[in-house]
Chain A
Amino acid sequence: MIDRRLFLSCAGIGAGAMLIAPRMALAAVESDRRFVFIIQRGAADGLNIVMPYADPAYARLRGALAGDMAAATKLDGTFALHPALAETAKMFAQRQALFVHAVASPYRDRSHFDGQNVLETGGTQPYQAKDGWLNRLVGMMPGAGDDAIAITSTVPMALRGARQVTSYAPSALPQPSDDLLLRAGRLYAEDPQLHPLWTAALEARGLAAGSGARQDPASLGRLTASFLTKPNGPRIAMLETGGWDTHSGQQGRLAAQLRALDTLLAALRDGLGPAWKETTVLVATEFGRTAAANGTGGTDHGTGSVAWLVGGAVKGGRIVSDWPGLGTGQLYQDRDLKPTMALDALIAGVAAESMALDPQHVARTVFPLAAPVRPVTGLIAA
């Protein structure tokens, strides 16, 4: 039995050095920090991404799904990284990546759609909040205009809300004549729903001009970087990845998913160039998967999972986890990885430090429905 080990290094409330006065925060936003949120839809299996190889229960529960430890990257004495994440492993070695394990949103049931709603709205119950936490974060940024972009055709829930954001995804459709665009704009001028969408769309298309983007992971990474490096472009971006719901055939499918995400992250890093050191990428999923393999080469819906922080601004090279263990009696409802850290607290702290905002203020604004969220700080360089 592995000891219940405390890797937790978050400073929590009262980390004086991390508290930044709001006024300074406003000024600091001008300093070109970037924040990217990547959602993994379908409940990514954290136990197979950051594998607790030293936990003796792991191999017993997983059998053939335990993963290839010989090929995996040992991150520390407890955890190893999935071998498909070659570029991410390099970032970890360069202290530009860290993983938060046994993390979960306040949601404790096992519906993808409710789980994603809670993760994206930042509520405590599904459909309780009508807008997304990322939109509320955008609302804390000074200035007008392009504060955030979704690299998707429509705007995902996390970015919906009072603050106008834009969306853009590479399209194979031919572009219409300028006259048609002009007249369509006039048709929408008096329409409170369509007018802001239209304005945002034209701006995004203008920003994307000449990017020649495609839909593959490397292209999406480069496209996102190209938006984030435009002088007057957005500083917050959101991407969606699907296909994490591995009830069967998990070994091959998860490896392919992770290779794609690894490629995207590397392309984002390379595309951002010098801006990478000002960047935080948060990767999170709605919940984890069962601790045990399900007997059909996959895993079913679970609870605790892993969140990733990647970027030049991340104080990386470590695992942040109050590891609950996988032994008998240590699982949530005898089946899932037990969450020991609140994803809300992580998001609040990371988003605040990434954008040089006051963590307490961000926690209150971005998660107003939760019991007071104690932001996890100290993970991002000031």
Chain B
Amino acid sequence: MPPSASLSPAAIAMNRFGLGARPDDTLPADPKGWLKEQFVRFQPATAAFAALPDAGELVRTYLDEQRQLRRQASREQMASPVAAGTKSIEQKAARRDYAQDVQALYRQAVQARAQAALDTPAPFVERLVHFWSNHFCVSADNPQVTAFAGAFERDAIRPHVLGRFEDMLLAVEHHPAMLIYLNQIQSIGPDSLAAQRAARRNPEQRRGLNENLGREIMELHTLGVRSGYGQGDVTEFARALTGWSVAGIGPGGATDGRPGDFLFRPQLHEPGARTILGKRYGEDGEAQARAALIDFARAPATVTHVATKLARHFAGDAPPPALVERLAASFQRSGGALPALYRALIDSPEPWQPRPLKFKTPWEWTISALRGLGRSEIGAMQVAAIQNQLGQPVWKPGSPAGWDDIAASWAGPDALLRRVDFAQRLVAPVGDRLDARQLGPRLLPASFSRATAEEVGRAESPGDALALLLVSPDFLRR
């Protein structure tokens, strides 16, 4: 990151820790205290998130409808067996309607996320929600995950952002969005009751494990890659996870759960004890993988992994080793209590370096721009479409590793040009009401660079001046 203006502690608190200053913000006199006070001000449940339709309900209605259509189709097929195996027009229409409903729900959830980021009284904690949501990402690339993506952040991340790491981990790995996304619902113990029954019915078709969730939990959510586990550990953990499922979805037949909720299916679970990373897990059923997860949550490798990612997010693409060590020590001492970890971060010198340490991601840039322009209602602005164009569609990172948190992933030629393209549209509604020359110093208190101030001052219209402010080197970084 090139050197730039010297940043004041207030500017750092609001922009690097927070989501970007608003023009009406009062300067925090005690920036560290201002950040810590947010732990009591944070609202886990916001009105916009609470107003989201229930994804489970949507899935339940769809499954019911499909079941009825299938029954109807099989009756028709008995009457006229010619069209066997093809989906009826009604089934196709139902699928299309469902896909449209799911897209509408997704867009509404993205609006809710952006709205929460605009009116939060705790922008630092809100940023941490985005951080954890990316650490434990799901990718809304199939309709069932899309339906649950907003609910995942609302129900698995937000309530735990100020709790303990292992509670967030357990909530995440039990959530239907994650179980569907990483194919867990299809995984069957090769010697489970269900596999034995299936083998008797059809010996040709083998049923078995799907390693996807097990591997990504170890590699991405907890221990971190190259931390010493082997393929055997992954396979054993995948066996332990068999039976973790979602009611009404995937194999497993009739259930007593509410479709769309977490369900442990004992008939899919691989019988017997497991040995993972040299430790034996003799628990029965769901408790087996749960016990392993809790051990992963507390493992030193996990502590380092999490500390490194947090340090990278706040103190630069190459996380300072001293900060990582300090954060890891705090994590260990507190038993994974996240507020203690955040306090250690605030009290460390590394995230307070007075030069910009991070290039904003498209999401960070969009939110900080909207906040900087004083926008308080998302309204009709289509945030999902905007993030698509800027290259960071919300909850769709395309891989379980989540979005990269380094400048090289975001500072591309075309990506930079797109922000300039978009800045012009963003300022259109307020271009004649805000004076960029006064706004700059408010958004970057005591830190607005002279070079940017000069260029902004020379723009040919107030709108252009505002757009320039948003794409200035000062504003692209935090």
Contacts and interface: CB of A to CB of B under 8 A. Distances in A.
Contact of B399 (A112, A180, A181, A300): A112
Contacts of B231: 110, 333, 335
Contacts of B401: 112-113
B248 interface: no
Interface in B422-478: 422-425, 451-452, 455, 458-460, 464, 467-468, 471-473, 476
B50 interface: no
B183 interface: yes
Contact of B2 (A168, A192, A200): A192
Given A63-B204, A187-B473, A177 B464 contact: yes
B467 A295 contact: no
Interface string A153-193: 11101001000001111011111110111011011101111
Contacts of B418: 153, 171, 173
Interface residues of A, number: 64
B183 A193 contact: no
Interface stretch (A23-31, A68-76, A95-103, A201-209): A201-209
Given A41-B399, A183-B464, A190-B451, A154 B226 contact: no
B451 A300 contact: no
A301 interface: yes
Contacts of B472: 187
B209 interface: yes
A296 interface: yes
B411 to A, nearest CB: 6
B256 interface: no
Contact of A194 (B206, B409, B416): B416
B473 A198 contact: no
B245 interface: no
A183 B2 CA distance: 20
Contact of A168 (B398, B414, B455, B467): B414
Interface in B183-216: 183, 186-188, 190, 195, 204-212, 215
Given A113-B225, A194-B476, A201 B424 contact: no
Interface in A302-321: none
B211 to A, nearest CB: 4
B421 A294 contact: no
* Interface-central residue, A63, A187, A190, A193, by most chain B CB under 10 Å: A187
A113 B195 CA distance: 32
Contact of B412 (A114, A167, A184, A242): A167
Contacts of B413: 155, 166-168, 197-198, 200-201, 204
A153 B183 CA distance: 30
A192 B471 CA distance: 15
A63 B452 contact: no
Contacts of B458: 183
B19 to A, nearest CB: 22
Contact of B473 (A191, A201, A333, A335): A191
A269 B347 CA distance: 58
Contacts of B414: 152-154, 166-169, 171, 201, 204-205
A97 B460 CA distance: 55
A361 interface: no
Contacts of A173: 389, 418, 421-422, 425
B225 A298 contact: no
Contacts of B384: none
A109 interface: yes
A123 interface: no
Chain B contact patch, size range:
35 or more
A205 B421 CA distance: 12
B352 interface: no
A295 B464 CA distance: 58
Contacts of B459: 179-180, 183
A257 interface: no
A197 B455 contact: no
Contact of A301 (B187, B215, B452, B460): B215
Given A153-B412, A247-B212, A298-B183, A187 B468 contact: yes
Given A112-B401, A193-B407, A176 B423 contact: yes
Interface string A237-266: 000001101011000000000000000000
A297 interface: yes
Given A177-B464, A193-B407, A294 B215 contact: no
B410 interface: yes
B2 A297 contact: no
A243 B209 CA distance: 21
A298 B210 contact: yes
A111 B219 contact: yes
B208 A295 contact: yes
A349 interface: no
Contact of A186 (B205, B416, B455): B455
B2 A193 contact: yes
A93 interface: no
Contacts of A181: 420
A198 B212 contact: no
B464 A154 contact: no
Contacts of A172: 389
B391 interface: yes
A81 B413 CA distance: 38
A296 B425 contact: no
Contacts of A160: 408
A187 B471 contact: yes
Contacts of B2: 191-193
A153 B226 CA distance: 30
B225 A194 contact: no
Contacts of A368: none
A191 B467 CA distance: 18
A352 interface: no
Contacts of A248: 183, 186, 210
Contact of B210 (A42, A113, A300): A300
Contacts of A168: 413-414
A128 to B, nearest CB: 12
B273 interface: no
B263 to A, nearest CB: 17
B170 interface: no
Given A113-B399, A194-B473, A295-B190, A301 B467 contact: no
A300 B412 contact: no
A264 B163 CA distance: 48
A171 B421 contact: yes
A181 B219 CA distance: 43
Contacts of B291: none
A21 interface: no
Contacts of A205: 414, 417
* Interface-central residue, A110, A245, A296, by most chain B CB under 10 Å: A296
Contacts of A177: 424, 464
Interface in A32-71: 41-42, 63-64
Given A152-B412, A167-B413, 14 more contacts: A110-B215, A113-B401, A154-B391, A160-B408, A167-B412, A174-B421, A176-B424, A180-B423, A191-B2, A194-B411, A202-B417, A205-B414, A295-B195, A300-B209
Going nearest first, the 6 A-B pairs with the smallest beta carbon separation are A295-B208, A154-B412, A201-B413, A296-B186, A200-B413, A201-B417
Interface of A: 41-42, 63-64, 109-114, 126, 150, 152-155, 157, 160, 166-169, 171-177, 179-181, 183-184, 186-188, 190-194, 197-198, 200-202, 204-205, 242-243, 245, 247-248, 293-298, 300-301, 333, 335
10 contacts: A153-B414, A172-B389, A176-B424, A179-B459, A180-B464, A187-B451, A201-B413, A205-B414, A295-B190, A301-B215
